[in-house]
Amino acid sequence: MPSPIFLLAIESSCDETSAAVSRDDSILSNLIATQKIHETFGGVVPELASRAHQLNILPIVSEALRVAKVKKNDLHGIAFTRGPGLMGSLMVGASFAKSLAASFSIPLIEVNHMHAHVLAHFIRNEEKEVPPFPFLCLTVSGGHTQIVLVHAPDNLEIIGETLDDAAGEAFDKTAKILGLPYPGGPLIDRHAEHGKPFAFHFKSPHAPGLHFSFSGLKTSIMYFIRDGLKADPDFINKNIADICASVQHTIVHYLMDKLIQASDKYHIKHIAIAGGVSANSGLRNALQELAKQKNWTIYIPPFEYCTDNAGMIAIAGYYKYLNRNFSDLSIAPLAGLPFVS
Ligand code: KG4
Ligand code: ZN
């Protein structure tokens, strides 16, 4: 086993082209090219995303190596996101990673994007404790909402997940209804800061056990806004802060309620959050409050490792490298890559 291990990681599952270079469990560079092109469409346009990845990937990989001060010849492996994600987007990253691994004659390492969100907690950070096993992780992103029971870096089990929309989608679709650009989650967060969380009441969604459902909430927000606009065409402008605060409160309260149930059921008090929505200030505050009440030890990722980034692909790749769990060059990306593959 070489020491230290240098990896190049590539993430291209959705609308972020990202490349990172790692030295063991430390991230030396983590660069992200966010595609602005989707803003006005209210969501990611797959064809445009693939094209943007194609344009971004070479410069972002070169820059990641330059910032890390690591030469191509020093790399021990190439990690890439195999899925889940948008097929065209994944193909760009996978093809690039495969070509590099073949031309440098170094191992190729496939990474599951959802595992990587969780494993981002193991990126070395002198100021942070890493969660001990087993712990629970609420992974909330644009495409997924999962409660994961983490036994080990290579043993992750879903104990609850969404039956329809993801939490991030609930934020983004609300934003779209309010006329805010994509991705709307961060904008709702910003407006919510100035609003009252109990100004408007939305019925908490319902799903059995530790599962989630968000599609009903989206519909009730749509009707609420339609009725508000009928009574006053300026309804959104006048109430945007209160609407955002109330929607955010409903989503966060629902997520926290399921997390409490999971903690009680599995008797685990080490609780982590991950994924894009874990950047939400309402969610972070609610978790901190709960930690005090329930005597939980909580793990909140730094902002740069919440939303999609290649740093998390690098750390997931590092653990696979340690197990010499490499991929064949014939491997293909999978849009619906299962959690356990
Ligand atoms: O993990 P991620 O970058 O991509 C996926 O794997 O889907 O998550 C993106 C999602 C989007 O829905 C975005 O609106 C949401 O994370 N998001 C937020 C915040 N920052 C990002 N949602 C609420 N509040 C935020 N501050
Ligand atoms: Zn993600």
pLDDT of res. 39? 84
Query: Nearest residue CA, atom 21 of ligand 1?
Result: 276
Please name which ligand lies nearest the alpha carbon of 15. Answer: 1
Q: Which residues does ligand 1 sit against, CB inside 6 Å?
A: 14, 141-143, 168, 171-172, 183-186, 189, 275-277, 279-280, 307-308
Coarse DSSP helix, strand, coil percentages of the chain, rounded to the nearest 5 percent? 50, 20, 35
Minimum-distance ligand 1 atom for the alpha carbon of 175: 14
Q: How many angstroms is it from 332 CA to the middle of ligand 1? A: 26
Report which of 307, 205, 215, 200 is spatially closest to residue 245, judged by C-alpha positions.
200
pLDDT of residue 341: 64
pLDDT in tens, the chain (341 residues): 999 999 999 999 998 999 999 999 999 999 999 888 888 887 889 999 999 999 999 999 999 999 999 999 999 999 999 999 999 999 999 999 999 999 999 999 999 999 999 999 999 998 889 999 999 999 999 999 999 999 999 999 999 999 999 999 999 999 999 999 999 999 999 999 999 999 999 999 999 999 999 999 999 999 999 999 999 999 999 999 999 999 999 999 999 999 999 999 999 999 999 999 999 999 999 999 999 999 999 999 999 999 999 999 999 999 999 999 999 999 999 999 999 86
Report the pLDDT value the prediction gives residue 315, as an integer from 0 to 100.
98
Q: How far apart are CA 252 and CA 26, in angstroms?
A: 31
Q: What is the largest CA-CA distance in the chain?
A: 69
Q: How far apart are CA 77 and CA 307, in angstroms?
A: 24
Cα-Cα end-to-end distance for the chain: 25
- Which pLDDT score, from 0 to 100, does residue 33 have? 93
Q: Atom 24, ligand 1: which residue's CA is nearest? A: 280
| Angle at CA of residue 213, ends 337 and 153, nearest 5° | 40
